[in-house]
Amino acid sequence: MSVLEIKNLHVNVETDQGTREILRGVDLVINEGEIHAIMGPNGSGKSTLAYTIAGHPKYTVVDGEILLDGENVLEMSVDERARAGLFLAMQYPVEIPGVTVTNFLRTAKTAIDGEAPAIRTWLKDVRGAMSNLKMDQAFAERNVNEGFSGGEKKRNEILQLELLKPKFAVLDETDSGLDVDALKIVSEGVNRAHQTTGLGILLITHYTRILRYIKPDFVHVFVAGRIAEQGGPELADRLEEEGYDRYQVAESAVVEAAAE
Amino acid sequence: MTAPQQSTAMPTAEQHGIRAHSDGAGAVVPVQTRSERFCSADVADFAPVNGREHEWKLSPVATFADLTGGELDGSRTPVESVEAEGVSVSWIGRDDVRIGTAGLPEDRGSANAWSSFGEAMLIAVTGEEQKTASVTRTALGSAPRAAHTVIEAAPNSRGLVVLRGTGDARLVENVEILVGEGANLTVVSLQEWSDDSVHLASHFARVGRDAKLKHIVVSLGGKVVRLNPSTHLAEQGGDVEALGLYFSDAGQHLEQQVYVHHDAPHTRSRVTYKGALQGEGARTVWIGDVLIGNAAVGTDSYEQNRNLVLTDGTRADSVPNLEIETGDIEGAGHASATGRFDDEQLFYLMARGIREEEARRLVVRGFLTEIVQQIGSPELEEHLIAALEAELQGS
Closest-CA distance of chain A to residue B220, Å: 19
Band (pLDDT 50/70/90 cuts) for residue B8 is very low
Which of B196, B193, B109 is closest to B146 using CA atoms?
B109
In a domain, B351, yes or no: no
In a domain, B42, yes or no: yes
What's the confidence (pLDDT) of residue A67? 98
- Break chain A into its structural domains and give their ranges: 3-259
Q: How many residues does chain B have?
A: 395
Predicted pLDDT at B47: 96
Residue B44 belongs to what domain range? 13-341
Q: Is residue B210 part of a domain?
A: yes
pLDDT value at A179 more than 70: yes
Between B97 and B394, where is the model more confident?
B97
- The structural domain count of chain B equals 1
In the predicted structure, residue B393 carries a pLDDT above the cut 90? no
Opening angle at CA B311, ends B305 and B313, nearest 5: 90
User: In this predicted structure, what is the pLDDT of residue B339?
Assistant: 85
Q: Which CATH architecture has domain A3-259?
A: 3-Layer(aba) Sandwich (3.40)
- Give percent above pLDDT 70 in chain A: 95
**pLDDT tens, B137-160?**
999 999 999 999 999 999 999 999
Which among A205, A168, A174 is positioned nearest to A189, based on CA atoms?
A: A174
Q: Smallest CA–CA separation between A92 and chain B, in Å?
A: 10
In a domain, B8, yes or no: no
ipTM rounded to 2 decimals: 0.94
Q: Is the pLDDT of residue B228 over 50?
A: yes
Q: Order of strands, edge to edge, in the sheet holding A226-231?
A: A86-89, A168-172, A200-205, A35-39, A218-223, A226-231
Q: Which of B355, B351, B388, B346 is nearest to B371 (CA)?
A: B388
The pLDDT, as a whole number, for residue B376 is 85
The DSSP element (H or E) to which A112 belongs, if any, is: helix A101-113
Q: For residue B374, what pLDDT is reported?
A: 87
Alpha helices, DSSP H only, in B105-246?
A: 108-116
pLDDT one-digit tens code per residue, B114-124: 999 999 999 99
* B363 interfacial to chain A (CB closer than 8 Å): yes
Which of B349, B365, B369 to mutate against chain A (most A CBs within 10 Å)?
B349
The per-residue pLDDT of chain B, averaged, comes to 91
The per-residue pLDDT for range B342-382, each reduced to its tens digit, is: 889 999 999 999 999 899 888 888 888 889 988 888 899 99
In a domain, residue B2? The reply is: no
pLDDT above 70 for B389: yes
Q: Does B341 sit within 8 Å of A97, measured CB to CB? A: yes
Position B37 scores a pLDDT of 93
pLDDT at residue number A249: 65
Task: Compute the average pLDDT of residues A180-188.
Answer: 96
Query: What's the gap between Cα B320 and its chain centre?
Result: 14
Strands B224-233 and B198-207: parallel
Across the range B166-192, mean pLDDT stands at 98
The answer for B 220-279 residues in CB contact with A (under 8 A) is none
For B353, the closest of A93, A100, A108 (CB atoms) is A108
pLDDT class for B319, splitting at 50, 70, 90? Answer: very high
Record: contact A112-B352, CB cut-off 8 A: yes
What pLDDT is recorded for position A220? Answer: 97
pLDDT above 80: residue A139: yes
Is B242 inside a domain boundary? yes
Identify which of A56, A97, A108 has the shortest CB distance to residue B363: A97
pLDDT at B3 > cutoff 80: no
Measured CA to CA, the distance from residue B122 to residue B151 in angstroms comes to 6
Residue A29 pairs in a beta bridge with A5
Output the average pLDDT for chain A.
Answer: 93
- Nearest one of B108, B37, B115 to B73, comparing CA atoms: B115
Task: Please state the rounded mean pLDDT for residues B33-37.
Answer: 92
pLDDT in tens, B193-205: 999 999 999 999 9
B352, B354, B370: best to mutate for the A interface, most A CBs within 10 A? B352
Could you report the per-residue pLDDT of B71-89, keeping only the tens digit for each? 999 999 999 998 899 999 9
Report pLDDT digits (tens) over B268-306.
999 999 999 999 999 999 999 999 999 999 999 999 999
User: Span B152-173, mean pLDDT?
Assistant: 98
Q: What is the pLDDT averaged over residues B262-268?
A: 97
Kindly tell me if the per-residue pLDDT of B20 is higher than 70.
Answer: no
Q: Is it the case that residue A243 has pLDDT exceeding 90?
A: no
Q: Is residue B155 part of a domain?
A: yes
Q: Give, in order, the Cα–Cα distances in Å from A186 to each of A96, A253, B392.
A: 22, 39, 37
Looking at residue A211, its pLDDT comes to: 94
Query: CB of B91 within 8 Å of any CB in chain A?
Result: no
